[in-house]
Amino acid sequence: MSEKFSATLRIGDLNDYIAPSQGCVVSLNANSSRIDKSQNVGKAGALSKPLQKEPVKISLKDCLACSGCITSAETVMLEKQSLDEFLSNLEGGRTVIVSLSPQSRASLALHYGLSSLQVFRKLTTFFKSLGVKAIFDTSCSRDLTLIESCNEFMVRYKQSQCTSKEESKPPLPMISSACPGWICYAEKTLGSYILPYISSVKSPQQTIGAVVKNCMYQKLSVRPKDIYHVTVMPCYDKKLEAAREEFVFQVDSDTEKITEVDSVLTTGEVLDLIQVKAVDFQSLQESPLDKLFANIDEEDHLYGVQGSSGGYAETIYRHVAKVLLGQEVEGPIAFKTIRNSDFQEVSLEVNDKSVLKFALCYGFRNLQNVVRKLKMGKCDYHFLEIMACPSGCLNGGGQIKRQPGQSAKEFIQLLETAYVENVVVADPFNNPIIEGLYNEWLEHPGSEKAKRYLHTEYHPVVKSITSQLHNW
């Protein structure tokens, strides 16, 4: 299994892939037969040597629909999720918008020996030279996601403190929902008992998709259906996330379906594109950033929260301590390493009583331990920031790989340095762009509009008979 997808989508005991001797359970069309993966799927991700006269096309939506098929195989990639499709839409006259993740910028910054801000400006030049209309910043949508997450946690926490009957208490710990590898694993393997704990707030990728297609399009003077929205992410699993049916909407019943995020390119794929275009990236001119939706202040500094995987635990911890408990948490939060560097916790005590207990849980081994405790009812955390990849999103499978001979620890440290360089730490609640979105569109955190556009639901996925037999 490739290293491209997260560990939770690669592990052998998931059994959500199809063996070479088995046929795909997805019916591609009325006249098609099942597909023999061993003959049809090439290692590079293209479908080769089709058994039929017409080329076989499998979408990631097909993959997500079937728990006995190929959701964990990088060998079947959606045509929509490719560089060719991206370039095709540029040439086809659609309004192309690119949203960049801070983790991807950090990876490119380390690769080219630049700062994240320089990378952002050079990528703006590069993408606009190809015909992209605007380049946005998912640090901005992350602030929106964090505010909604803070609100959701406070509602759950207050209810848990006020409710006397154990059976009616809201599910705690609340678990972050930004990692699609973790979500896929939870839906397909852990079943319904774990899903109520997971936050309903969309990831920053899908949040910016909702903003662009439901609100920002007006300021761009273009119809939502004419927008081709591409995100640049550190993780291949984000391609699976963008393809979910939950993230497709209709303006009304008579109109065509609109996808929040049309395509996802990984950091490595953007590097490939730069090299294919023979661009000297380090010498490329730096362009002004699109301030319509980017975390750039008056002095042209990037700003955002701390935390290389989104800062969920740290941001919610500070906010709840201040707003609900009257405790101002100053300076860096001293997370305590428990089992390893990928499992850390922090606790807030008031009158010698622990009132808040949060944890960072990265990597599948740590994830399994937490899930086991939850199942036994012995998990005493209030919030868990769970990410499938060890070291979190900075170490996503779509990032540029480390140099030969470079240790993983040294590589992550360099990435973390590039990630925070020239980035001003700022409270999401003070983000003027997000304040504007609430004033003009969403009303307030947790509003009905916010729930409609920025929240989602997760459902257990029943494994197909093929997969169950294979597991047996």
Output the pLDDT for position 35: 38
Characterize 101-126 residue by residue with b for buried, 16 or more Cβ atoms within 10 angstroms of its Cβ, and e for exposed.
Answer: bbbbbbbbbbbbebbbbbbbbbbbbb
Query: Mean of the pLDDT values across residues 134-153?
Result: 98
CA 324 to centroid of chain Cα atoms: 29
What three-state secondary structure class fits 5?
coil
Q: What is the CATH number of domain 81-139+203-302+430-454?
A: 3.40.50.1780
Q: Are 342 and 361 in contact (CB under 8 A)?
A: yes
pLDDT for residue 405 is more than 70? yes
The predicted structure's pLDDT at residue 56: 45
Q: Compute the mean pLDDT over every residue in the chain, rounded to the nearest whole number.
A: 83
Lowest mean pLDDT among 47-51, 164-168, 317-321, 374-378: 47-51
How far apart, in whole angstroms, are the C-alpha atoms of residue 257 and residue 136? 23
Question: Is 3.40.950.10 the CATH number for 141-200+305-427?
Answer: yes
Cα 418 to its chain centre, rounded Å, is 20
What integer pLDDT is reported at residue 398 of this predicted model?
A: 92
Least confident of 116-120, 416-420, 460-464: 460-464
Q: pLDDT band for 36, please (50, 70, 90 cuts).
A: very low
Task: State yes or no: pLDDT of 338 exceeds 50.
Answer: yes
Average pLDDT over residues 162-186: 83
The span from the CA of 389 to the CA of 342, in Å, is 9
Q: What is the domain partition of the chain in residue ranges?
A: 81-139+203-302+430-454, 141-200+305-427
Is the pLDDT assigned to residue 39 strictly greater than 90?
no
pLDDT above 70 (res 370):
yes
Q: Is the fold of 81-139+203-302+430-454 the same as that of 141-200+305-427?
A: no
Q: What is the pLDDT of residues 210-242, one digit of tens each?
A: 999 999 999 999 999 999 999 999 998 899 899
The percent of residues in the chain predicted with pLDDT above 90, rounded, is 62
Mean pLDDT, rounded, for 427-456:
97
Lowest mean pLDDT among 16-30, 86-100, 116-130, 144-158: 16-30
% helix, strand, coil for the chain, step of 5: 45, 15, 40
> What confidence score (pLDDT) does residue 351 get?
84
> Which one has a higher pLDDT value, 256 or 431?
431
